[in-house]
Amino acid sequence: MSTNEGSPILAYYQQIMDGTITAGHWIKEWYGIVVHGLETARWAYDPKRARNVINFIERYCRHHEGPLAPGLITLSLWQKAFLSVVYGIVDSTGRRQFREIVLIIGRKQGKTLLMSGIACDHLYLSGGYGARVYICAPKLDQARLCYDGIYQMISKEPMMAAAAKRRRTDIYIARSNSSAQPLAFSSKKSDGFNVSLGILDEVGAFQGEAGLRTGEVIKSSQGAREEPQLFYTSTANFVSEGLYDEIIKRSTAVINGTSQETRLAPFLYMIDDPEKWDDINELQKSLPNLGTSVSVDYILEEIAVARGSLSKKSEFITKYCNLKQNASIAWFHGQDIRRMFDPPGGQWHTLEDLSDSYCVGGIDLSQTTDLTACCVLIEKQGILYAFVHFFMPANRIEELTAEDQVPYAKYIERGFLTPSGDDYVNYRDCFVWFARLIEQYRIYPLCIGYDRYSAQYLVQDMAQYGHHMEPVYQGYNLTGVENDLEGMVKSGKLRSAEDNDLLKLHFLDAAQQIESGLAAHARKKLSKARKRCHVDGVAAILDALCVRANHWNEMGAQLQNIDYDEDPAQEAEEVEKNGNL
């Protein structure tokens, strides 16, 4: 093993940081994580393993089309750094650390050529005996682009060609019993494989549940392999709620530090500022091979066409800038969430501690057979303290514990989750929770926001009790409120009053769906980082923040809960501003 010194990883990172190479936010952050991990011995670096794959591609793999064909491939620094991360970083056993690799990159950046070279290396060098390479794409013609690239590289190099045979469905190397085969994605046809190297090409076009299922099947087929690799490659696309959205949410969560995954390596080449979509300097962030695999003049011509057509502009922004419309990304940074759940002065708060206070509330009822969240936000000395309580049908706790992989019994024991009803949440429990705040702790919600799909009888009961209830539609209309929440979490103004790990999980799993990549201030709405996770606690807080913002002018003075005995100067200022309260 060796240090990172002199590696392509460090060389690439240094040129990014000194401005020699223009890179986007996600690439800067990811390589910062990689370099820090090597410096702190989180991982080890094996330069020989990195050199082996780099040397193999540059010595034996050739271009098979275009003006550079049939010359040998010369890798750019970003490609060498990419391969060094994927192959050179190893775990404590000396095996490759990263098993899932995400490469999201703009059009015409040599993605398919690079994957073909990686596949050849796997067949002849790194894959070992019995290697199985599968190239999967939405259509067989797309999968054949990489598959044919593999065959062309093999046929142009005598050493490789002598050992290979092209059969009807695959390329076969008898001496190592290895093969490569193209597939059109279909989860029904993907069972029974024993994949050592999977390449899911153009995942942006893998649609819906079938696309997600195909990714899961290919990944699960690698269970018997010691060092499996699964590459997800794509430009951005227009398909929503498919495999692309899933891997982007996972990738950004890894980079933000909100994911516990350790085997995923995300390389997200995207521009940062959508309003600079036609700026050639900004485009270097999504097109790292600009000037190599595609000329600057060609991109300038494409920009000229896009400026004259809205449809061409949309396509350019998606395919060259790599900004997907309606994309979902992980929301909060891990360090900000850790601060939110780190009590000021090391002391958690109870409802009793914050009694005799005004507040706002939020209710997210979600589904009757799942989690429901109720919250209040209480401001004291400029900090908003969040109390969030959850309810779950009693008969579903064991089932949901297994499905969600969350120890709900522990949260019941700690008092953050209440079994409610049998098979459905009994919303009367939500009513009782808010009533107890007033009657036992003298905590007074001045307004409670609720999602508009809430049970109407609960809303009526709450209103009859005296609560000011206000419906909140949770969509793109809450962009401003979501920006406020993000700012409060970053600045430390919003804190969890309790050591509520269940709420913390919801913040870690929170994502945002971006409505459009065409505007710098695109609208956003709350979504989930993973399909089987919950963000109900975050949704309830958004409901509360929404009504707080809506009624701040008339309620703000009360909601600040200023203790004038401790701060007479503040009392004088408030009297001057608002009159004698």
Nearest to 512 by CA among 496, 523, 520: 523
Question: What is the 8-class DSSP label of residue 231?
Answer: E
Of the pLDDT bands very low, low, confident and very high (cuts 50, 70, 90), residue 246 is confident
Contact 395, 567 (CB under 8 A): no
Between the CA atoms of 240, 246, 250 and 256, what dihedral angle is there, to the nearest 10 degrees? 10
Helix, strand, coil fractions of the chain, as percent rounded to 5:
45, 20, 35
pLDDT of residue 543: 96
Of the pLDDT bands very low, low, confident and very high (cuts 50, 70, 90), residue 581 is very low
Is the confidence at residue 573, as pLDDT, over 60? no
Neighbours of 99 (CB within 10 A): 18
Place of tokens 């990263």: 98
Is the confidence at residue 258, as pLDDT, over 90? no
pTM of this prediction? Answer: 0.78
Strands ordered across the beta sheet of 164-166: 164-166, 171-173, 178-184, 132-137, 197-201, 229-234, 100-104, 264-268
Is the confidence at residue 564, as pLDDT, over 60? no
pLDDT of residue 374: 96
Amino acid, single-letter form, for residue 423: D
Is the confidence at residue 567, as pLDDT, over 60? no
C-alpha span between 220 and 297 (Å, rounded):
44
SS3 assignment, position 207? coil
pLDDT of residue 579: 41
Neighbours of 503 (CB within 10 A): 28
Q: Residue 369: phi, psi to the nearest 5?
A: -105, 10
In total, the chain counts a number of residues equal to 581
Q: Average of pLDDT values for 132-157?
A: 92
Q: Most confidently modeled of 37-41, 448-452, 519-523? A: 37-41
Residues 307-334 have pLDDT tens digits of: 988 788 888 998 999 987 666 788 998 8
C-alpha span between 170 and 168 (Å, rounded):
6
Averaged pLDDT of the chain: 89
From residue 367, give the alpha-carbon distance in Å to each of 37, 107, 336, 372, 400.
41, 41, 29, 7, 13
Of the pLDDT bands very low, low, confident and very high (cuts 50, 70, 90), residue 190 is low
- Percentage of residues of the chain with pLDDT beyond 70: 92
Q: Which residues of 53-67 are buried (b: 16+ CB within 10 A; e: fewer)?
A: bbebbeebbbbbeee
User: Higher pLDDT residue, 207 or 142?
Assistant: 142
Residues 150-181 have pLDDT tens digits of: 999 999 999 999 999 999 999 999 999 999 99
Of the pLDDT bands very low, low, confident and very high (cuts 50, 70, 90), residue 198 is very high
SS3 assignment, position 95? coil
Amino acid, single-letter form, for residue 552: W
pLDDT of residue 572: 45
pLDDT of residue 6: 72
Q: Most confidently modeled of 311-320, 456-465, 486-495? A: 486-495
From residue 503, give the alpha-carbon distance in Å to each of 114, 182, 253, 430.
42, 44, 17, 17
User: Higher pLDDT residue, 581 or 146?
Assistant: 146
Q: Residue 419: phi, psi to the nearest 5?
A: -65, 135
- Could you give all domains of the chain from N- to C-terminal order, each with its CATH number? 8-330 (3.40.50.300), 334-550 (3.30.420.240)
pLDDT of residue 116: 96
Residue 281: which region, alpha, beta or left (left: phi > 0; alpha: psi -120 to 50)? alpha
Amino acid, single-letter form, for residue 398: E
Helices (H), 40-191: 47-60, 77-83, 111-121, 140-156, 158-163
9 token code pair: 């990883």
Is the confidence at residue 576, as pLDDT, over 70? no
Residues 366-420 have pLDDT tens digits of: 656 688 999 999 999 999 999 999 999 999 999 999 888 889 999 999 999 999 9
Is the confidence at residue 103, as pLDDT, over 90? yes
Is the confidence at residue 195, as pLDDT, over 80? yes
